[in-house]
Amino acid sequence: MSDSVCAVVVTYSRKNLLMECLEVLQRQTRPIQGIYLIDNASTDGTPELLLEKGYIIELPPQNLEEPWEKESSIKNLRNGKEIKLHYVRMYENTGGAGGFCEGVKRGYERGYDWLWLIDDDIIPIEITLENITAKIKAFDINKIGFLFSKVLWTDKIPNIMNIPAVKPIVNGIPFNFYEEKDFLLVESASFVSLLIRKEVIQAAGLSKKEFFIWADDVEYTLRIAKNGFLGLYVTDSIVTHKTKTNYFDAQVYN
């Protein structure tokens, strides 16, 4: 796929996890062309560390009253090609919902073909994007609303909070109709490794920032499905979600 891909990463005061996430984004075997990094007014020294590591070229002003954006360039660590890094410092913490709404809006207006939504505690593997974009070639692109990675916890068991909603029939098609192609059909998913094309944003609009932190992703992906698009759960595109716990007893699998 030759289309441009921009990761939208939302962060709030988790600078060490953010650095881990950003490094893996630079190592993707299917290179990305841009990153919109939305800093929700972090208080842990995130801008200073980004400057130290060479991700940004200057610190944001103090006492912001509106979002502040500054563009810099970093390198793909596999092939040396340029990645545009658009750093946006928010003047207040708008939550994940506000951050993703802001990042998707700016990435869409910038003209990127695909936006890859990732939280700051999401760690892809180096072939995550390659595997998820491979499914685009195996499907009618005009039917695709979003593609969603398989999300594991740190112990490699599925992360329970990121299991997508599965219905027997999705927009008239059995959910497992394409399972031999390594994806299932879903009608909702979370913003942890979600790939959306610009035409879908044009049709369905933006997610709702008013949710602050919960349910904005479910509402948005359901809205995309209600617009007639399909959600693809890609089983061989893997990320790790480093939540503090996995919220369920893994002994049920023993």
Residue with tokens 């990645």: 83
Domain boundaries, the chain: 5-253
Number of Cβ within a 10 Å radius of residue 79: 8
102-152: per-residue pLDDT in tens? 999 999 999 999 999 999 999 999 999 999 999 998 888 999 999 999 999
- The torsion angles phi and psi of 163, rounded to 5 degrees, stand at -75, 125
194-253: per-residue pLDDT in tens? 999 999 999 999 999 999 887 899 999 999 999 999 999 999 999 999 988 886 544 444
Beta bridge partners of 99: none
Please tell me the predicted confidence (pLDDT) of residue 251: 47
68-114: per-residue pLDDT in tens? 999 999 999 999 999 999 999 999 999 999 999 999 999 999 999 99
Residue type, 110: R
Average pLDDT over residues 2-31: 97
* The CATH number of the domain covering residues in 5-253: 3.90.550.60
pLDDT tier at 5, thresholds 50, 70, 90: very high
- The torsion angles phi and psi of 103, rounded to 5 degrees, stand at -70, -40
State the chain's mean pLDDT as an integer.
Answer: 92
Q: How far apart are CA 254 and CA 209, in angstroms?
A: 40
167-180: per-residue pLDDT in tens? 889 888 888 988 88
